[in-house]
Structure 1
Amino acid sequence: MNEKKTNKLKILNDPIYGFISIPNELIYDLIEHPYFQRLRRISQMGLSHLVYPGANHSRFQHAIGCIYLMQKAVRILRFKGIQISKDEANGLYIAILLHDIGHGAFSHALENNIISGIDHETISLKFMEVLNDEFDGKLSLAIDIFKGNSPRNFLHQLISSQLDMDRLDYLNRDSFYTGVAEGNISSERLITMLNVKEDCLVVEEKGIYSVEKFIVARRLMYWQVYLHKTGLVAEKLLGKILKRAKDLTFNGQKLPASKAFTYFLEQKSSIEEISIETLKTFAKLDDYDIFSAIKEWISFDDKVLSKLSESLINRILPKIEIQKEPLSESYIETIKKEVKNTFNLTDDELNYFVYTGRIQNQAYDATKNNIQILYKNGTIKDVTEASDHLNLQALSNTVYKYYICYPKK
């Protein structure tokens, strides 16, 4: 006799927040779904563990943390008299739970490399639509909130803005697992200071210092962690490995890889619309597929792929130079000539070993989804106008840096 499985596990223990309760059986069933369970095998911070050994946490942990913060935000706003229905609250929980379900292997490191032409938000939405069919339309409101189609704007802002539950969790979580204390923010105080004015999410005046600390923490985490030069060069190396593997595949060579990984290696161009077949295959792909293949490629008979793969697996990373001004063409050519001669490379092979690029950091964007401060008299100001922090206006400017990567001698 087939008895319906009962959902017994309602509480998870999280190292950041302690015990996290699952709101209802629908949320539990979504967490149990294979599409969501895949996030256990997707690194939250790509290859940052090569810099910070503790940074091995997953997208799964982040998503669970986000739903905890969203429950807290709903309770606070209701306490302050903001009407949020049971269906709207559930829509928020589902939307924040699934907001990163479309991330591919190693999160941002391989975005637009595995499926070229489509970002992870688009894939997340596609997963949500497929799950909505599977769950008889119960995700419809969550999808509207995720897309910003809900008639209540502040609901979308809780999912995606410059002070959303996503950012509040990942800054604290990544700070915890890397041990970089500068990212430690008071998410509880920030959420407690939230309110809604004219259908917009705002922060009450007494929370302005917490917002300032949040923006500064975000800037520091980007320079110290997300854009750390060793993590950056490791991710660029991973991208070069995948490019070489694809180039060899297009030229008719058969590389050892899982079926799911092979499917994407054989994809010849960017796609505008992701098919159900592609989505189901993507759902089978995770960090393990990529690393298992790269370990095999060390012994592959293509010297470029072999050398690049060995460099990543054994952490013999290229040298990276970063500076504030663009690199001169003459300097780039000098590096290329030296590497070409030292390693006896063709011009085509050289592009896999010497490469340049630009990184950018903008802690706060005052032009969109900005953080509004609510004063006691009911007026609202952008945080850069409301703050007396001397550097806050400067932090809204985009800072660019330029890099070159090449093999160590």
Structure 2
Amino acid sequence: MSLQTNKLKILNDPIYGFITIPNALIFDLIEHSYFQRLRRISQVGFSYLVYPGAHHTRFQHAIGCMHLMQSAVQTLQTKGIEISEKEATALYIAILLHDIGHGPFSHALEHSIVVGISHEEISLFYMKELNKEFNGQLSLAIEIFEGKYARKFMHQLISSQLDMDRLDYLKRDSFYSGVAEGNINSDRLIAMLYVVNDELVLEEKGIYSAEKFIVGRRLMYWQVYFHKTGVVAGKMLVNLLRRANELVNKGVDLPASKAFRFFLNNEIHENNFEIGVLKIFARLDDYDILSAIKDWISHEDKVLSKLSEMIINRRLLKIEIKNEPIKDDYFKKIFEEKRNELNLSNEELEYFVFIDSIQNQAYDSSKSKINIYFKTGEILDITEASDQLNIQALTKPVVKYFICYPKK
């Protein structure tokens, strides 16, 4: 058996069954330490504090996305859309690496460890570095990922209102959380894909699956991603890191891994994020954060130790979610009550009593559209094509406001 044949592995996925690694290049990218790090990055942050099964990782999600992309390419080729082997491989690479820039706990710490850089920008940085290592073999994948390739529909398969990323994360997060509302029919949606005038469209027979997809996305956001327990735990983690940074800036030496210590000691932003920083970022994952938090429980700073203990033992702050902004009077009343109760200074109490908001938009047609293709040749946005009135309603952003404070 040649070395190349040995790289055509088959993985067993609980959702799709057997997933085939299509070629040796993809195998080598999966084996790379940058990609292997995703095994140690949780897919849905602190959702496991609500749904005990939600311990799946970005690694599983990326592999699942690649599998769906293989199905999409095959479907479109069967319908006469020409996709060369080179283009297909580039699509697999682009979707495989689309989330490689996520930091610990995925979205929860996105702007806490590195300031002002999105995970998409870090993913692109990783792809460009890997392209150097792999002698330019990722060039086309990067072009597609950035939306610069001539064939526009290829970028839409990676990033749009109906991309392989969304098709996998809704189905996967639904499976691992046990929240059945997100269990969309990804097979049906992919089977209905087509390309007209270089735009990705959905054949009219797929309209009901698309409606369920949009509704499923809305429900998953409110039931899983924005579940109040996950939201408050994420906010507490952000506050904990803010406190840690504050202490380090005052010269306090906090126990942490070398990689985590680097980001605590240095403010990393767009202008100083370079290859050396990328390599340290590649050593940082959920384990560094959790290990440090466990250590910080015994720290003499009471804000740091209290927040650490609350997160580790799931003794979270109380959260009240409302449809209207939290009134100043109510916030001040709670703030005063808790200051007297806990004997903390105003500055310390700000870590435990705070307000914020969350926003969900199930379908945003201003970014890209889910276009329905009719046999007559007519193409309509799903909000016009659907006779289900709530699809139109789901295009509007919904904002909810919350206040967090310690329980009695």
TM-score class normalised by the smaller sequence: over 0.9
232-241 or 263-272: bigger deviation? 263-272
Name 1:278's counterpart in structure 2: 277
**Runs of 4+ more than 4 Å apart:** 3-6
Distance 2:75 2:8 in 1: 26
Name 1:350's counterpart in structure 2: 349
Alignment partner of 1:87: what SS?
Answer: helix
Alignment partner of 1:151: what SS?
Answer: coil
Q: CA deviation at 1:272?
A: 3.3
Residues 7 and 28, structure 1, Cα contact 8 Å, conserved in 2: no
8-17 or 249-258: bigger deviation? 8-17
> Aligned ranges for residues 198-277 of structure 1 at < 5 Å?
198-268=197-267, 270-277=269-276
Alignment partner of 1:359: what SS?
Answer: strand
Task: Specify whether residues 5 and 205 from structure 1 end up closer, same or farther in structure 2 by C-alpha distance, changes over 3 A only.
Answer: closer
Residues 117 and 272, structure 1, Cα contact 8 Å, conserved in 2: no
Distance 1:68 1:4 in 2: 23
Residues 115 and 267, structure 2, Cα contact 8 Å, conserved in 1: no
Alignment partner of 2:200: what SS?
Answer: strand
Residues 153 and 199, structure 1, Cα contact 8 Å, conserved in 2: yes
TM-score (structure 2 length as normaliser):
0.98
Aligned amino acid, residue 98 of structure 2: H
> Aligned ranges for residues 29-68 of structure 1 at < 5 Å?
29-68=28-67
Q: CA deviation at 1:347?
A: 1.4
Alignment partner of 2:401: what SS?
Answer: strand
Q: CA deviation at 1:340?
A: 1.1
Deviations 1:88-144 (A, max 9, x none): 101000000000000000000100111111010000000000000000000000000
Distance 1:271 1:140 in 2: 23
Aligned amino acid, residue 250 of structure 2: N
Distance 1:306 1:293 in 2: 11
Name 2:139's counterpart in structure 1: 140
Residues 249 and 265, structure 2, Cα contact 8 Å, conserved in 1: yes
Distance 2:365 2:394 in 1: 10
Alignment partner of 2:125: what SS?
Answer: helix
> Aligned ranges for residues 57-136 of structure 1 at < 5 Å?
57-136=56-135
Residues 30 and 36, structure 1, Cα contact 8 Å, conserved in 2: yes
Distance 2:176 2:3 in 1: 38
Distance 2:327 2:89 in 1: 54
Residues 114 and 264, structure 1, Cα contact 8 Å, conserved in 2: yes
Distance 1:272 1:289 in 2: 25
Alignment partner of 1:158: what SS?
Answer: helix
Residues 118 and 272, structure 1, Cα contact 8 Å, conserved in 2: no
Task: Specify whether residues 299 and 258 from structure 1 end up closer, same or farther in structure 2 by C-alpha distance, changes over 3 A only.
Answer: same
Name structure 2 gaps, 5 residues minimum: none
Name structure 1 gaps, 5 residues minimum: none
Residues 250 and 268, structure 1, Cα contact 8 Å, conserved in 2: no
Alignment partner of 1:68: what SS?
Answer: helix
Alignment partner of 1:133: what SS?
Answer: helix
Aligned amino acid, residue 339 of structure 1: K
Residues 339 and 407, structure 1, Cα contact 8 Å, conserved in 2: yes
Distance 2:83 2:70 in 1: 12
Alignment partner of 1:196: what SS?
Answer: strand
305-314 or 9-18: bigger deviation? 9-18
Alignment partner of 2:369: what SS?
Answer: coil
Residues 47 and 224, structure 2, Cα contact 8 Å, conserved in 1: yes
Alignment partner of 1:189: what SS?
Answer: helix
Q: CA deviation at 1:345?
A: 1.0
Q: CA deviation at 1:320?
A: 0.2
Distance 2:39 2:176 in 1: 16
TM-score (structure 1 length as normaliser):
0.98
